[in-house]
Structure 1
Amino acid sequence: MADEFTTIIGGMMQSPPNPNEPIPFTNHLGTMYGVSIPFHVLSWIFVAFRLHTRLRVVREPGLDDLFVVLAALFNLVSLITFLKSTKHGMGQHLIYILPELQQTMLWLYMTNAAYHTTTALIKVSLLLQYLRLFREGSRRIVCIVLLLLVVSWGIAFSFMAWVPCFPVRGFWDRTLDPPAKCYGFGYRGVNEAKHTVLAFAASNMTLDIAILLIPLTEYFRQDLRRKQLFAMTGLFALGLIVVLMATFRLWSIFKHNQNLTQSFDFTWWYPEVLIFSCLEVDFAIMCASVPIFWPTVVASCSHIFVTSEVRISHHQRLNNNSRDEFEMLRTHSMKSTASTEGLNSTASLEQKSFYNGYDTETGRDRRIETTKVQVQPYAQPPRTL
């Protein structure tokens, strides 16, 4: 690696890139922070809703919840180290950051290893979630086979990412004596590292597509309701975004590996790959969490919005000319035998419609309003109270 490194650096010094060339959109700090942070926060909100539903509502947590939390934690590590690397040369040409290249490689090691682990954990979580749904049949067998494949794939690439060199320090410190033995992601050779990155990106995209297609058969159910159809459409839309981000990541790696010198200038083109990586994992976490808490959200909407039919009716009061008058006389009282006071029918109010105790025309609460009535004592003119 020392000889190849020296040769490529010498070639870049002889023909250095233009320091005044336009900076790509993805290399701006505003882009890296503005794209990665909001979607990462949104993914944590989805995880929080998922955990609330599983722990407090249905009270049935499972291994899939554990793996999605682990995926979110490793994703957080990947994001922090990615943003930290921007302060140590990430987004600039390699030839101009040689004095701090060791720090750049250290942060790149952390974000690269955490990302590869996250992709494996979220796939395992999704497949475990499928196993809770498919109790029998061919789909369960497919899930088990795919789960074993994902676990093997994840262990292999995660180990290669966390231990790219022996000792590990050799990944960012190329001055060790004797030199570290590196392989794969360890940049022992530019072509070897490029092939390893491309192999991971291609296999990662393939597994995402396979996992997305497993529940696709639900679309062909004859008893599928419209709400379930819309929910599954939203779920597959998120899944397609995950596959799309993985595809863009693979395309970006291909695009920036046209020649040896360009591929070695990874600090200049790698921010675009890292942004696609962050979006891919964020949407994968959201895709895994939506089916868990969405039924609870739909059920809660009935308590927020009026969804029941209400029957509204009105009744007419008796008027003074009605024959159905009532008179209750207290002509014989234990305390006052002289009382001849009586209670007659009330005067007619203006006919109005009421909804649950409220006047639909004035908006006044009729439940607490004092009603005006006419009381007609015996042998006295009527008076209004």
Structure 2
Amino acid sequence: MALHDAKSFAKRGEQLENIVIAHFVLSWLFIALRAYTRIFVKPNFGWDDLTMIFAGVIYTIYCAFILYIEGHGGGTHVTSVAQLSDLTKRAVGSEATYIATVMMLKVSVSILFARIVVKRWQLVVIYTTVAISCISAAASFFYCLFRCGPDLDEYVVQQLSSLCTPRVLDRVFAYQHAAFAFSTDCVFVLLPIPLLWNTNMSRKSKCSMGFILSLATLGCVCSAIRFRYVDGLTQTEDFFWNATNISIWSTIEPGVGIMAGCMATLRPLMMCAQVKIQTLRSPRLLFAKKSHSVEMGMTSSNEERGGSKGADAVKFSKDAGLASERHQDGGRARTSQSTGRGSSTECILSPSDENHTFGQCESLELDRTNTWASVSPNPGDALPPLMPTLHYMKKRLHNEV
């Protein structure tokens, strides 16, 4: 047995404790953000969210086991039988909860992908992959609990008496679980490629969506690194010293997987936050834009109003001049043009309209004057040069009739 000083013991224990606490806090932070996004930002809470929360609960139990082991001699050379028996039961519990956490994580990710795929073969691939992963995890789970018998209190005694399963079988179950977990992650990493290949999206959007979907399988890298330390689970001699590295990566793999799986669903929350940040950063710019738009609207309305005033004034003067010329020449044609209130159409009284009289068009002319008086900024200045001509025309017409 190799001898180590107290400094190396403290360093290994402190490193493991910091990793466990950091991943535990971050995992639940991302789970909370995911639940908030799926409930309040974009209501779409489903089974993938529920299984992710369940995976977080199991991961919490795993972290509790690891912290207990680290605080009671984990990462050291344990020689006391009583201490070894106590820590062994927690070690079995931590390994079983690790397997259950990874299994629930794979189920959650598979449901997430199943909600967005459109082709049948993609569903078959997802269901087949997650089914194989669950079978492998279930076999490893029960093997971990019963490899030395159903009584965990006798686990150490059975182990010291060489009554447990052989180390070769331990390696088979340990490596097969790690291999299937890694293979499942690889399938989920490659699945977004055919999923987004034929979609009507720009290349930038495809890369963005592919990156978001691949975040859910970021634990693939951790699974590959964990392969190196799997043999530490099968070394029964000085187990708690040799299993420190595998404990570290067994903590990182599901923690990173939970965070990545939740991060893949936070796009609506990030977009909402981006809009709010832009609003808080540039309130003056928004106010200036609104003020500018209001001013432009008022200017355009004033220009349109002024243009209609000028057009009506020209039409009214032309009508008055035309009527005076015709009556001065002795003609009997009673034709006038006028504009109704609030409209831009013209009223033209033709000679064939015998039922119409000049008084009707005269009333429209007076109504036009009132309209100008109500629209003009200075009502008293509404067409003053034309008023004497209008009175003169009325007087001549009455005299002739």
Residues 1:60 and 2:37 are matched in the alignment: no
Q: CA 1:275–1:98 in 2, change beyond 3 Å: closer, same or farther?
A: same
Q: CA 1:236–1:128 in 2, change beyond 3 Å: closer, same or farther?
A: closer
Aligned 8 A contact 1:190 1:264 in 2: no
Distance 1:55 1:129 in 2: 16
Distance 1:171 1:139 in 2: 47
Q: Which residue of 2 aligns with 1:31?
A: 15
Out of 65, 74, 77, which is 1:90 matched to?
74
Residues 1:283 and 2:268 are matched in the alignment: no
Q: Which residue of 1 aligns with 2:54?
A: 70
What SS does the aligned partner of 1:133 have?
Answer: coil
Residue 217 of structure 1, CA deviation: 2.9
Q: Which residue of 1 aligns with 2:207?
A: 229
Out of 7, 13, 17, which is 2:2 matched to?
17
Aligned 8 A contact 2:27 2:258 in 1: yes
Q: Which residue of 1 aligns with 2:239?
A: 266
**What amino acid is aligned across from residue 90 of structure 2 in structure 1?**
W
Q: Which residue of 1 aligns with 2:137?
A: 154
Distance 2:144 2:117 in 1: 33
Residues 1:215 and 2:230 are matched in the alignment: no
Structure 2 unmatched runs, 5+: 296-401
Residue 244 of structure 1, CA deviation: 1.6
- What are the Cα deviations for residues 341-385 of structure 1, in whole angstroms up to 9, with x where unaligned? xxxxxxxxxxxxxxxxxxxxxxxxxxxxxxxxxxxxxxxxxxxxx
Aligned 8 A contact 1:64 1:125 in 2: yes
Distance 2:141 2:84 in 1: 24
Q: Which residue of 2 aligns with 1:137?
A: 120
Distance 2:158 2:129 in 1: 42
Q: CA 1:209–1:134 in 2, change beyond 3 Å: closer, same or farther?
A: same
Aligned 8 A contact 1:164 1:171 in 2: no
Residue 175 of structure 1, CA deviation: 6.5
Residue 181 of structure 1, CA deviation: 11
Distance 2:161 2:120 in 1: 50
Q: Which residue of 2 aligns with 1:193?
A: 170
Aligned 8 A contact 1:245 1:280 in 2: yes
Aligned 8 A contact 1:89 1:101 in 2: no
Q: What TM-score, normalized by structure 1, do the two folds share?
A: 0.65
Residue 222 of structure 1, CA deviation: 5.5
Residues 1:295 and 2:268 are matched in the alignment: yes
Distance 1:77 1:40 in 2: 10
Distance 1:149 1:87 in 2: 36
Q: CA 1:154–1:111 in 2, change beyond 3 Å: closer, same or farther?
A: same
Residue 33 of structure 1, CA deviation: 1.5
Q: Which residue of 1 aligns with 2:105?
A: 122
Q: Which residue of 2 aligns with 1:244?
A: 221
Q: CA 1:61–1:174 in 2, change beyond 3 Å: closer, same or farther?
A: same
Aligned 8 A contact 2:37 2:268 in 1: no
Distance 2:205 2:276 in 1: 18
Distance 2:85 2:215 in 1: 41
Q: CA 1:263–1:206 in 2, change beyond 3 Å: closer, same or farther?
A: farther
Distance 2:152 2:254 in 1: 27
Distance 2:151 2:187 in 1: 33
Q: CA 1:188–1:21 in 2, change beyond 3 Å: closer, same or farther?
A: farther
Aligned 8 A contact 1:170 1:180 in 2: no
Q: What TM-score, normalized by structure 2, do the two folds share?
A: 0.63
- What are the Cα deviations for residues 144-178 of structure 1, in whole angstroms up to 9, with x where unaligned? 222322232232222223443432325634269xx
- What are the Cα deviations for residues 102-154 of structure 1, in whole angstroms up to 9, with x where unaligned? 01101101111100101111001110111111143321221122232223223
Aligned 8 A contact 1:201 1:250 in 2: yes
Aligned 8 A contact 1:117 1:158 in 2: yes
Aligned 8 A contact 2:140 2:174 in 1: no
Question: Which structure dedicates a bigger proportion of its chain to helix?
Answer: 2
Residue 212 of structure 1, CA deviation: 2.1
- What are the Cα deviations for residues 226-259 of structure 1, in whole angstroms up to 9, with x where unaligned? 366345425535634x1121112111234x59xx
Over alpha carbons, which structure has the higher Rg? 2
